[in-house]
Structure 1
Amino acid sequence: MTVPAQNDDVTIEVPTPEDWESIYAMFSSGINIDGDPQSLEAERPLFEPGRSLVVRAGGRVVGTLGANTRQIAVPGAVVPAAHGCRGAVSATMRRQGILTRLMRKHFEDARALGEPITLCWASEGRIYHRFGYGLSVRRVGLNVNAREVTVPKGEEPGRIVEGTVADLRDALVKVYDQVYAERPGWSERTAAHWDYRLADTMAMRQGASALRVAVHEGDDGIDGYALWRVRSNWNANGPLGDVVVVEQVSTTPEAYRALWRFLLSVDLTRSASTWAVGVDEPLYYWVGEPRQLDAHLCDALWIRVVDVPKALAARRYAAPVDVVIQVTDEFLPENSGTWRLTGSPEGATCTPTSEPPDLWLDVRALGAVYMGGTSLSALVDAGLVKEVRHGTLPAASTAFRWHTSPYAFELF
């Protein structure tokens, strides 16, 4: 299918598999990197032509926006979601409405496929506010001074075992699948997603070692793993290596503690770093000096609700809620309306109503609270939520939260 753009020489099309190299090159240029052959081949299996859009001008690719078809964990459920990726427009084609047209088609396609939300990692947050995305999941980066931070040793059984990615892959998959559905912000992984996660290209290493794997063996078998690298560093006084934690996943608190204890004690290292843990990371409460974690807060997943009633009925709620909400969506007017939301930890319904609203929400607010990590009350001062009927905000705000904070660590 070809959609004419504003300029007669510019078209927006669904690409074919043969377009992958051009799309990869255009997107790499758009985010100011050169790209490389290893990454091109590692990412190829994740390319879904039918879920992608390509902009051409004079036969040349000048824009792109794609999606990965995956499910994602939300409070109390797992929902299908368009995982937006490779969104870029050539520098010479910007300010011509191309990205706006790409986004509108992206949302329409998600709705047609029954996906109530779309999500992305933002290169710059300012790009996505205007398209109705809300900042839903935040991440915390850590640069831990391993000399000053110690995870106390408990009585937990088990041992840490290292192995190769090939030998331990099945165990990694099993552990991840056991926990991901309970962690809002974590996405399902097919074999192709695991292939990419474990690809270990030079670009992924960023000057550190090859990918390493450590697993924790408890009484019932492997119940946790860590993917990590070492960035070697020395000075005149000796080693200053850094353990780069790619991801750490565990099904038990004992495995989580044991793996962190291991990562903070690797020989010839003095620090450990990770780019994304949750805002309620357990390390804060284990270590004696949390300031030595050198934590910094940043945005992670941005959520765009494209089907309000379906999205609100799909997730669960921390407390019983029965509220009438009015949602305004300027970019996607068919998404605006008034609905009665009735929900609990067990289930939810969301149906159109002519009743007067209790709360008004901008669609950005709905995206921000969808994963349970942001309160409706916090968004009142931001002007994205208004309490129309006095006294309804506290209960609704409580219901939209969740017992675990969402977080995300996997770029897509």
Structure 2
Amino acid sequence: MDGAGIQLRIGSADDWDAITDLMGQVFHETWAPTARDVEGSIFEPERSLVADDGGLVVGHAAAYTRDLTVPGAVVPAAHITLVGVAPAHRRRGLLTRMMHRQLHEIAAAGREAVAVLWASEGKIYPRFGYGLAAQQLRIDVRTREISLREPAPGRPPHTPAGDPAQGARLRLVRPAEAIADLAKVYEQLRPDRPGWSSRDDRWWRYVLADLESQRNGATPLSGVVHDTADGPTGYALWRTLSRWDRGGPDGEVRVREVVATDPATYAALWRFLLTIDLTRSATAGLLALDEPLLHLVDEPRRLGSRISDALWVRLIDVPRALAARRYARDVDVVIEVTDVLLPANAGRWRLTAGPGGATCTPTDDPADLSCTVLELGAAYLGGPSLAALGSAGRVRELTPGALAVASTAFGWHRLPHATEMF
């Protein structure tokens, strides 16, 4: 059987129940009415692509309209989500049709030069030009076996002349009632952290929606804000899970998000989270690979660190995407790009760039490097280096020395970090 008789069409608000039924089937979940309402609050029907088999929704792919921080800039990025095909309609080419059409529609619209997603399986999306651009750190800590080092003496850089800890205090909040404080801190940091997505009020309500189905036996979401005389400088979101054994309390802290504008605030928030009464462990995901906590604890092995994939990036418009970000050093390089799905990206591009800006224009000059659009997506946020991709045989160096220069230029002073799944 094939999918020739199945229509691809733009979705509508009336499709929402059928779409969530499909997602429940695909991801083996039950969507309660409250979950449908919360997810529906950010649903964009006009960016929804439905596979319709005689009135049945048998496939779906959607995009959210948000901005994404990239090295040195913030750019519009299509946030791809809610992708799946009904179990009885697999192996008919529906996913390929939907992903191809979605890419072409994003390119034709011209607003977004970049698309980004989380992958349910890592082997699926490279077929469509998505490269693994950011990883996440997960920790599982026995909190009584570590302690936090005291901060180095002296005033941290980029802080006011006064002591940032002077008069500081931690304030417990109900997260959904503290959006103004949380957003103030988040927006202060967002322009400088590749991988962070924009959050308007609608998205803040979505991120903080405290669905019981997400708690897995733990408490409702809690929040704490770090206040100073100059206003909030950080916050943390977490849950706790009560456990007891024959030795007494053995509770767990499940950390959702920690955001801090300075080292003193960061240390204060983690010290609070790792010493909550009646708990003996803490878990956290969605941490950065360069998380400062790794350098704050006296025994990093006890963090139980492990790494998994996070954001996958697809360049929709190669020259516009490469010109939009900034680069760690000056570079003038010709890159030959292959892109079988979006042929406008294919060819040779001269990237002339540096910390102050970039241009990317077509050229007939000989190429210094050669790769597919996937490798450029992987390196775009400053995470995986072009040199590492070259060592894996994914980027070809055609001019001696060009790979080292370009790899350094594509890097950034902070590794990419995704704060949320979408």
TM-score scaled by length of structure 2: 0.94
The answer for the alignment partner of 1:10 in structure 2 is: 6
Count, aligned residues:
408
SS in 2 for 1:38: helix
The answer for the alignment partner of 1:86 in structure 2 is: 82
Q: Does residue 54 of structure 1 match 2:50?
A: yes
- Partner Cα distance (2:68, 2:214) in 1: 24
How far off its partner does 1:162 sit?
A: 0.6
- Partner Cα distance (2:369, 2:306) in 1: 33
How far off its partner does 1:15 sit?
A: 1.0
Kept in 1, the 8 Å contact 2:107–2:113? The answer is yes
Give matches, 1:249-260, under 5 Å. 249-260=259-270
Kept in 1, the 8 Å contact 2:252–2:279? The answer is yes
Structure 1 residues not aligned, in runs of 5+:
none
How far off its partner does 1:364 sit?
A: 1.1
Kept in 2, the 8 Å contact 1:359–1:392? The answer is yes
How far off its partner does 1:332 sit?
A: 2.4
* Change in CA separation of 1:65 and 1:286 when aligned onto 2, cut-off 3 Å: same
- Partner Cα distance (1:28, 1:357) in 2: 47
- Name which of 357, 372, 386 aligns with 1:362: 372
How far off its partner does 1:121 sit?
A: 0.4
The answer for the alignment partner of 1:261 in structure 2 is: 271
The answer for the alignment partner of 2:358 in structure 1 is: 348
Kept in 1, the 8 Å contact 2:12–2:48? The answer is no
SS in 2 for 1:330: coil
- Name which of 233, 240, 256 aligns with 2:250: 240
Kept in 1, the 8 Å contact 2:68–2:76? The answer is yes
The answer for the alignment partner of 2:382 in structure 1 is: 372
How far off its partner does 1:170 sit?
A: 0.8
Kept in 2, the 8 Å contact 1:275–1:409? The answer is no
Q: Does residue 95 of structure 1 match 2:91?
A: yes
Output one character per residue of 1:222-269: Cα deviation in whole Å (capped at 9) or x when no partner. 110001110111112111111111101111111111000000010010
* Change in CA separation of 1:309 and 1:6 when aligned onto 2, cut-off 3 Å: farther
- Name which of 273, 281, 294 aligns with 1:284: 294
- Name which of 135, 138, 143 aligns with 1:141: 138
- Partner Cα distance (1:6, 1:70) in 2: 35
Q: Does residue 196 of structure 1 match 2:206?
A: yes
The answer for the alignment partner of 1:110 in structure 2 is: 106
- Partner Cα distance (2:210, 2:65) in 1: 23
- Deviating beyond 4 angstroms after TM superposition, the runs of 4 or more aligned structure 1 residues are none
* Change in CA separation of 1:133 and 1:166 when aligned onto 2, cut-off 3 Å: closer
Kept in 2, the 8 Å contact 1:218–1:255? The answer is no
The answer for the alignment partner of 1:124 in structure 2 is: 121
SS in 2 for 1:46: coil
- Partner Cα distance (1:99, 1:167) in 2: 40
Aligned residue identity for 2:125:
Y
- Partner Cα distance (1:167, 1:374) in 2: 38
- Partner Cα distance (1:19, 1:326) in 2: 42
The answer for the alignment partner of 1:226 in structure 2 is: 236
Q: CA RMSD in A?
A: 1.4
- Name which of 169, 177, 191 aligns with 2:187: 177
TM-score scaled by length of structure 1: 0.97
Aligned residue identity for 1:125:
G
Kept in 2, the 8 Å contact 1:142–1:276? The answer is no
- Partner Cα distance (2:275, 2:150) in 1: 12
How far off its partner does 1:363 sit?
A: 1.2
Structure 2 residues not aligned, in runs of 5+:
154-164
* Change in CA separation of 1:217 and 1:328 when aligned onto 2, cut-off 3 Å: same
- Out of 245-254 and 161-170, give the one that drifted further: 161-170
- Partner Cα distance (1:34, 1:382) in 2: 41
How far off its partner does 1:153 sit?
A: 4.2
Kept in 1, the 8 Å contact 2:226–2:232? The answer is yes
SS in 2 for 1:254: helix
SS in 1 for 2:290: coil
- Out of 244-253 and 106-115, give the one that drifted further: 106-115
Give matches, 1:286-301, under 5 Å. 286-301=296-311
Aligned residue identity for 2:6:
V
- Out of 375-384 and 285-294, give the one that drifted further: 375-384
How far off its partner does 1:356 sit?
A: 0.7
- Name which of 185, 195, 220 aligns with 1:210: 220
Kept in 2, the 8 Å contact 1:200–1:210? The answer is yes
